[in-house]
Structure 1
Amino acid sequence: MLQDPIKSQLRTHFASLAHPVELAASLDDGAKSRELHELLHDLASLSDKISVADYAEDARRPSFVVRRPGGVEGIRFAGIPMGHEFTSLILAVLQVGGHAPKFSAELAEQIRALDGEYEFETYISLSCQNCPDVVQALNAMTVLNPNIRHTMIDGALFQDEVAARNIMSVPQVFLNGQPFGSGRMDAEGILVKLDTGATARAAKKLGEKAPFDVLVLGAGPAGASGAVYAARKGLRTGIVAERFGGQVLDTMAIENFISVPETEGPKFAAALEAHVRHYEVDITTGQQATSLKPAVSRGGFHEITMASGATLRTKSLILAPGARWRHMNVPGEDFYRNKGVAYCPHCDGPLFKGKRVAVIGGGNSGVEAAIDLAGIVSHVTLLEFADTLRADEVLQTKLRSLPNVRIITGALTQEVLGDGQRVTGLTYRERANEREHRVELEGIFVQIGLVPNTEWLRDTLALTERGEIEVDAHGATSVPGVFAAGDATTTPYKQIIIATGDGAKAALSAFDYLIRLPVVNADKAAA
């Protein structure tokens, strides 16, 4: 099942296993069980410390447990963890075999100190790029604390469970049988929900940090680039964000970043983080900025307050908050979000196998989504507001060649319909004649662009009507000492390569701003 180059790499990794690892499988006579049987025996053939055993207690088949021989508990996989989850499997083997999870000492100790019993279940799809972060975080926590147990469940393989629990987006996490969270989460975010005192402790620690020369808000391509350029100038640099990578983490394929012919969003985000960590940059994730208080005088400190209550001070600031998916803002959309209304076709598409779906938006993202979904679902209806599709011609040609796709242009979505539990359809109006129509379906994928994450800046600096931060040719905003970069700004063309250039420019401008400040003592600056 595994190709020889992959086997060669895994032999090298497994050579460092410190403890024996048992892969205990629950199988039946189905094709998927035979596939899993082959995978597990392939892995066992790569190290004399890995063995395969039967495990009859698990009702989910095919499934298996990664554990120490003779053990009862371990890391569970219900399904075949290939695709994006293959790394989760290999990490589970390594960590059960003695490799310590890559957590800070403080975070690891916090996990070990958790009291109580925690039975986590995470529903995923193998094409989801966000799911492995959640799976790997919970698996690692399982290794550190025997009171924590975790099972990854492939929603496409266990569709009865998905239907029973009304799961229509991934990742979806349950704790002790109850909904716990959805979407991308790391260990820090999970702990915040488990350890009620974690937020206050994190805020206190964050607020005790000394003022920065340059503080970057946002850790996508623009923020990462700004942090690297600032640190290389010898400036005391910090970067604060909800997650490292930003919108890139939700990108399936990147094929236009010059010098990198092809990569995936999570890999690119990991490379960004590794590059930033190569320098002395103070990195904080899991934090969201809520307000900015500009310095009262040139050379003073800007103050940024976080949702946690912490306040940071900095001589110069680079805003790179990025953007999020634009919503339709029609009745029913909010109510049925994650109940049939989705924004990531790669993540949630497999949950709609054999069903009818709509894609809203005729740009590149919408047409690409429709093409991908057409290979999974029974039928795709693409709705575009304009009279013609806006996607590249090559994508339009591919889309029109698909037999199970209907294209409707000049259509304005009016309402998302449902039965109280899940989506059942939508209504749209023909712009040309005002006629209304109803489309019966089970899923709606919204692909109509991005909205800048700038609401919290509305009363602080100049924004456009669309909420974009107004910047000049140097990345400077309307507030002296505050610069901005990336998708949240007025810079045209929202592309990764442009965002990285924006971040570099903002950092160089911040450096130029700092070296021209008058020399003042610390007490006067603080005032």
Structure 2
Amino acid sequence: MLDDSLKTQLAAYLERLQHPVELLASLDGSEASTELRQLLDTLASLSPKISLGEQADERTPSFLIRRAGAPEVAVRFAGIPLGHEFTSLVLALLQVGGHPPKVEQELLDAARALDADLHFETYYSLSCQNCPDVVQALNLLAVLNPRVSHVAIDGALFQQEVEAREVMAVPAVFLNGEPFGSGRMELAQVLAKLDVNAEARAAEKLRAKAPFDVLVVGGGPAGAAAAIYAARKGIRTGLVAERFGGQVLDTLAIENLVAVAETEGPKLAAAFEQNVRHYEVDVMNLQRAEGLVPAGEDGLLEVKLASGVSLKARSLVLAPGARWRTMDVPGEEIYRNRGVAFCPHCDGPLFKGKRVAVIGGGNSGVEAAIDLAGIVAHVTLLEFDARLRADEVLQRKLRSLPNVRVITQAQTTEVTGDGQRVNGLVYRDRASGESHRLELEGVFVQIGLLPNTEWLKGSLALSPRGEIVIDERGQTSLPGVFAAGDATTVPYKQIVISMGAGATAALSAFDYLIRQGSPAAAGAAVATSGG
């Protein structure tokens, strides 16, 4: 189950355990229980501080990770946490075993201060790249606070439970038996939902910040690169983002990044954030920009946030990125996360043995159909144009699959449901004009991206597609404001291009500050004049 190299690495990590840890398994005669037993035997063999025992639980197979002598310090996994959740397993072992987490002290204090009995349940899938953030946040919360408990549940393994609770997208979190949240969440977001005063305290801290020389809006590849290049100039740099990592967090495999042969989106996003924080960048995460005000008499640009706070800066680099484009048809929003999904890697396992549709015949759509065909009973791919637009190698693979049907010249007009979940969709044949209905349980939308620029309308020039218009230096139509990444008119939307564009925009902003006579920029220019 774990190769020798991984065992060696894991044994080195487990040397950090400060307290003995008990693994208490609930097993039966199933194949999954046998696999889990093998995993737990391996873990116990890698450290003298890990012991293995049994304890009956309502979910089988499952296991409790408990600190010996301190039963209140514990977390539970229902299933076999491999795949993307293997890191969650390792962190849970270390944290239950007393190894200190790499989390801001303010968040640790807030977690320990929670004064209520909170039982969390998180449904995940092993192929979901966003699920580990939620699982790890809630596991840590359970370790820090004896009144908090958490069980992470593999939705594909506990299919009946998933259907009974109508979980159709992961990660899905329940608190004391009631829905708490869905989608990627960090510890700060969980605490903010639990503590009604957290948002007000965060806003007060933002309100007290002095103006920045460069303020970067966006935490994706373009924003991270811009922040690093600006900070290296020795000027006051801030980065505000709704979620650090942006669309990269939703990307499973990345195989075209020049520096590495292969990586995954969440790992790359974590590397971006670690590098940005290495420099003196004031990172303000989980903050959504809602307005841009041109410079006034004080020469400062203003970014308005959803929290009601405004941040000011002498120059801006806008890198708000993009989001999944929706079909904008009746039923789509009603059944979002109830059969309408946008991430086949995350939610695909929840549709095992069912019939689904994929909307979109580009690379993303065809790749989604190929991946889903190995999980679901049948896939229908609908493409608006007369032919698929995906690379030929992907189309050949798609055509080889027996449980996939391709319909071209199909315009989806409605997603239907029974009030609780999707039960079909209606499409119009663009050649004949006739309408047809497909009976199915899931719809995966893969029709491209939409720039996150609605908040910029009226402030600077946007293209007809809503992209920020820039020149070769990243300059926008507003003096002192530069832009980079997928939200701009740059012709190719690629991670490596966004990183380069972010660097360009930051250097252009620095040049702008020098020409405006900014003392900080002028001083930095002298200090870095050697290269």
- What interval of TM-score do these two structures reach, taking the shorter chain for normalisation? over 0.9
C-alpha separation in 1, matches of 2:289 and 2:114: 28
Rounded to whole Å, the distance in 1 between the matches of 2:431 and 2:424 is 22
Q: Give the CA deviation at 1:72.
A: 3.6
Whole-angstrom CA distance in 2 between matches of 1:97 and 1:381: 48
Contact kept, 8 Å, 2:412 with 2:428, in 1: the verdict is yes
In structure 1, the partner of 2:386 is: 387
Distance 1:256 1:11 in 2: 32
Q: Which stretch of the first structure deviates more once superposed, 38-47 or 308-317?
A: 308-317
What pairs with 1:200-349 in structure 2 (closer than 5 Å)?
A: 200-296=200-296, 300-349=299-348
Displacement of 1:71: 4.3
Q: Which moved more, 1:307-316 or 1:217-226?
A: 307-316
Q: Runs of 4+ in structure 1 displaced over 3 angstroms?
A: 70-73, 518-521
Q: Report Cα offsets for 1:233-264 as digits up to 9, x if no partner.
A: 11111111111110000001111111211111
Name the residue aligned to 1:458: 457
What's the offset of the Cα at 1:77? Answer: 0.4
2:18 is equivalent to residue 25 of structure 1: no
* d(CA) in 2 for partners of 1:71, 1:103: 22
Q: Does 1:485 align with 2:487?
A: no
Instruction: Give, as a single letter, the amino acid of the residue that structure 2 aligns with 1:500.
Output: M
SS of equivalent to 1:40: helix
State the 1:69 CA deviation.
2.1
Shift of 1:284: 1.2
For residue 518 of structure 1, report the CA deviation from its aligned partner.
3.6
1:480 aligns to what SS in structure 2?
Answer: coil
Kindly tell me: are residues 519 and 356 of structure 1, through their superposed partners in 2, closer, same or farther at Cα, counting changes over 3 Å?
A: closer
| Secondary structure, counterpart of 1:25 in structure 2 | strand
In structure 2, what is the equivalent of residue 98 of structure 1? Answer: 98
Contact 2:386-2:409 at 8 Å conserved across structures? yes
CA distance in 2, matches of 1:205, 1:71: 37
Query: SS where residue 67 of structure 1 aligns?
Result: strand
- Distance in 1, matches of 2:365 and 2:159, equals 26
Q: Aligned equivalents of 1:518 and 1:265: distance in 2?
A: 40
Q: Tell me the alpha carbon deviations over residues 339-398 of structure 1, each in whole angstroms, 9 at most, x when there is no partner.
A: 100000000000000100000000000000000000000100000000010000000010
Deviation digits for residues 406-446 of structure 1 (CA, Å, limit 9, x no counterpart): 00111100100111111111011111110111111110000
SS at 2:84 equivalent: helix
The residue identity in structure 2 corresponding to 1:470 is V
Deviations 1:257-290 (A, max 9, x none): 1121111111111111111122111111111111
- AA paired with 1:400? R
Which residue of structure 2 aligns with residue 61 of structure 1?
60
CA distance, structure 2, for counterparts of residue 408 and residue 99 of structure 1? 54
Residues 520, 246 of structure 1: alpha-carbon distance in 2 compared, 3 angstrom cutoff:
closer
Tell me, in whole angstroms, the C-alpha distance in 2 between the residues paired with 1:16 and 1:445: 43
- State the one-letter code of the partner of 2:514: I
Q: Is the CA contact 2:19–2:68 (under 8 Å) kept in the aligned structure 1?
A: no
Give the TM-score normalised by the residue count of structure 1: 0.97
Provide the rounded CA distance (Å) in 2 between the counterparts of 1:81 and 1:350.
15
Distance 2:34 2:519 in 1: 72
Unpaired runs of 5+ in structure 1? Answer: 522-527
Matched with 2:181 is 181
Percent of pairs with identical residues: 68
Q: In structure 2, the residue corresponding to 1:304 is in which secondary structure?
A: strand
Q: Report what 1:524 is aligned to.
A: none
Which shows bigger deviation, 277-286 or 313-322? 277-286
- SS at structure 1 position matched to 2:263: coil
Output the CA distance in 1 between the equivalents of 2:200 and 2:206. 10
Q: In structure 2, how many angstroms separate the alpha carbons of the residues matched to 1:4 and 1:465?
A: 55
- The more displaced of 259-268 and 320-329 is 259-268
1:106: how far off? Answer: 1.0
**Number of aligned positions between the proteins:** 519
Letter in structure 2 aligned against 1:268: L
**What does residue range 394-409 of structure 1 map to in structure 2 within 5 Å?**
394-409=393-408
| CA contact 2:62–2:78 (8 Å) conserved in 1 | yes
Offset at 1:207? 1.2
Q: Name the structure 1 match of 2:49.
A: 49
Match of 1:525 in 2: none
Q: Deviations over 1:79-130 (max 9, x none)?
A: 0000000000000000011111211111111111111111000000000000
Give the letter for the 1:68 counterpart.
Answer: R
Pairwise CA RMSD: 1.1
Report the AA paired with residue 343 of structure 2: C
2 CA distance for matches of 1:127 and 1:519? 49
Deviation of the 1:296 alpha carbon: 2.0
C-alpha distance in 2 between matches for 1:188 and 1:305:
21
Q: Where do residues 75-154 of structure 1 align in structure 2 (5 Å cutoff)? A: 75-154=75-154
| Letter matched to residue 371 of structure 2 | D
Instruction: Check whether the contact 2:475–2:481 (CA below 8 A) recurs between aligned residues.
Output: yes
Alignment of 1:438-449 (within 5 A): 438-449=437-448
1 CA distance for matches of 2:444 and 2:179?
A: 23
CA distance in 2, matches of 1:141, 1:113: 11
Matching residue of 2:526:
none
Deviates more, 1:456-465 or 1:220-229: 456-465
Farther-moved stretch of structure 1 (287-296 vs 81-90): 287-296
Alignment of 1:6-21 (within 5 A): 6-21=6-21
The CA distance in 2 between the partners of 1:91 and 1:272, in whole Å, is: 21
Rounded Cα–Cα distance in structure 1 between residues aligned with 2:356 and 2:16: 47
Q: Please give the TM-score of this superposition, normalised by the length of structure 2.
A: 0.96
SS of the equivalent of 2:350 reads helix
Alpha-carbon shift at residue 519 of structure 1 (Å): 5.7
